[in-house]
Amino acid sequence: MTILCEPDAAAAEEHVLPDGNVRRVDNVWDAARLLSAEPAELLVVIGPNVPTAEALRFAEALRPVRPAAGVVLVRARVDVVMLTEALRVGVRDVVPAGDQAALAEACRRSLETSQGLLGSVPEPPAQPEATGRIVTVFAAKGGCGKTTLAINLAVALAKDRRRVCLVDLDLAFGDVAISVQVKPARTIIDALPMAGHVDTTGAASLLTRYRPGLDLLLAPVTPGDAEKIPPHLVRELLTVLQGMYDYVVVDTPAQFSEHVLIAMDASAHHVLLTTPDVPALKNLRVTLDTFDMLSYPADIRSIVLNRSDAKVGLTADDVMKAVRSPIAAHVPSSREVPMSINKGTPIVIDNPGHPVSQAVSRFVRERLERGAPASRPAVASGRRAGGRRAR
C-alpha cells in the first residue's frame, strides 16, 4: 500500500502510482496517523495541494522514527531552494505535478531504497534525543493570566527558526484553541490509542499548526474526556515532544493535578504567576512551600506578577514581601490583552511594542532562552526518583 496525501480528490486521481493499492488522506497528520497504525508502510506521496512547509516538517519528523519509509513530494513548481530544503529534511524525491512518468520512477526508486534499508535498519528505531526545554506556567488561583502568558511566551520563543510546541494541559477547560481561534480538529484525546508507544510520527499527528515554528497540542473538547487521559500518557507525550521541539510550553489548570506535577517534574523552568491581590498571593505562597517540599530547585523558578500596575492597594514591594521571593517580570494590566484574545491574535504578534509584549519578550530573553541565568540545568533531584529531567 502507498499513502497519498492530497486534500483535492480530483488532483489525487491524476497521480499514477506504481502500487495500485493507494490510500488517500487529506493532510499530513492523517498520513502520520495511518503510518503509526501501519508499521509495514514504506511510501508516502505528498500531493501538490499540501503546503510545502507542512510536507517538509512531516518528512523531517518521520525520518528518525521510520527511516525505512520514504517521502516523495509532488510540487506545482520545483525550484532549487525548495529542492535543497526537501532533500535536507530527508524527502527522497521531488517531482513536478503532471509528470506521471517521473512520479512512477521516483516511487519505484524510493521503494527500492526502502527495501534495501529494511535489511540494515534495526527496528524499532531510536527516539530522537529529548533536548527541548519544557516551561510550565502555573498559578494555583484561577484567572491569573496563565493561558494568556503561556500563549504569548510560546509566540515570543518561536522565532529565529526555533521550534515551539504549546501544550494545553488544562484538560477539562482548556482555552488555548479558542484564545488563538484555531479549530481543535485533533486533541490530546487522540493520543489514547498510542499510550505506551507514542513516537514522533504519532505525536506529530496530534498537533495543530498555529504559525511558523509554533504548534499546539490542544486540550480535549469534551470536559469529560479529561479524566480519560492517564498521567503516564502526559509524561510520554512530553518526552516525545521534547525530542521534536526546542521549547515545549505547558499551560495548566489552577490545581495541583497529577498531570500538572508530571509537567513540573519534566520542566526546565517553572513560571509561577500571580496578580497583586491577597488570595492569589496566598495561593502563590502555598505553591512555593509545596515546591520546596517537593525539592523543586528554586533556581528554575520565576515569579511573574501579572497586572502589576493594578491599583488595588498592593505594591510590587508588598508582593515581594508576601511571597518572600524576587519577582522576575512585571506584566502590566491593559485592556488590549483581552482585546487581543477576542481577536484571536496574541498581543506579542498584534502589537510587539506594547508594554505587555515588551515585558513578555524581556522575560523570555532574560529567563528562558538558553544561557539565561535561571535556565541552566538544575542539580537538585526531583520529588520522585527519575521524575525530574530538567534541561
Binds 287, which of Mg ion, ligand ATP, none (CB < 5 to 8 A, cut-off by type)?
none
Q: Of the candidates 325, 334, 351, 358, which one interacts with ligand ATP according to CB under 6 A?
A: 334
What is the CB neighbour count within 10 angstroms for residue 331?
26
* Of 50, 131, 132, the residue nearest 86 (C-alpha): 50
Partners of 4 in the β-ladder: 24, 45
Cis previous bond, 124, omega within 30: yes
**Which residue, 96 or 143, has its beta carbon nearer to ligand ATP?**
143
| Residue 268 sits in the site that holds ligand ATP (CB under 6 A) | no
Residues 6+ apart with CB under 8 A from 10: none
CB of 332 to ligand ATP, least distance (A): 6
Dihedral angle of Cα 48, 54, 55, 60, to the nearest 10 degrees: 170
The 3-state DSSP class for residue 232 equals helix
* Of 262, 267, 253, the residue nearest 169 (C-alpha): 253
**Kindly report the CA angle at 214 between 361 and 156, in degrees rounded to 5?**
5
| Residue 306 sits in the site that holds ligand ATP (CB under 6 A) | yes
Task: For the chain, report the end-to-end CA distance as a whole number of angstroms.
Answer: 41
CB of 21 to Mg ion, least distance (A): 46
| Residue 274 sits in the site that holds Mg ion (CB under 5 A) | no
**Which residue, 187 or 201, has its beta carbon nearer to ligand ATP?**
187
Residues in 216-255 at the binding interface with ligand ATP, rule: CB under 6 A: 254
Partners of 250 in the β-ladder: 136, 167
| Residue 259 sits in the site that holds ligand ATP (CB under 6 A) | no
CB of 326 to Mg ion, least distance (A): 25
Look at the block and give the residue holding cell 522565532.
159
Residues in 69-98 at the binding interface with ligand ATP, rule: CB under 6 A: none
Contact between residue 323 and residue 274 where contact means Cβ atoms under 8 Å apart: yes
Per-position x/- string for 163-192, each x denoting binding to ligand ATP as judged by CB under 6 A, each - no binding = -------x----x-----------------
Piece in contact with ligand ATP (CB under 6 A), picked from 84-92, 199-207, 212-220, 327-335:
327-335
| Residue 356 sits in the site that holds ligand ATP (CB under 6 A) | yes
Q: Which residues bind Mg ion (CB under 5 A)?
A: 146-147, 175
User: Where on the chain is the footprint of ligand ATP (CB under 6 A)?
Assistant: 139, 142-148, 170, 175, 254, 306-307, 331, 333-334, 337-338, 341, 356
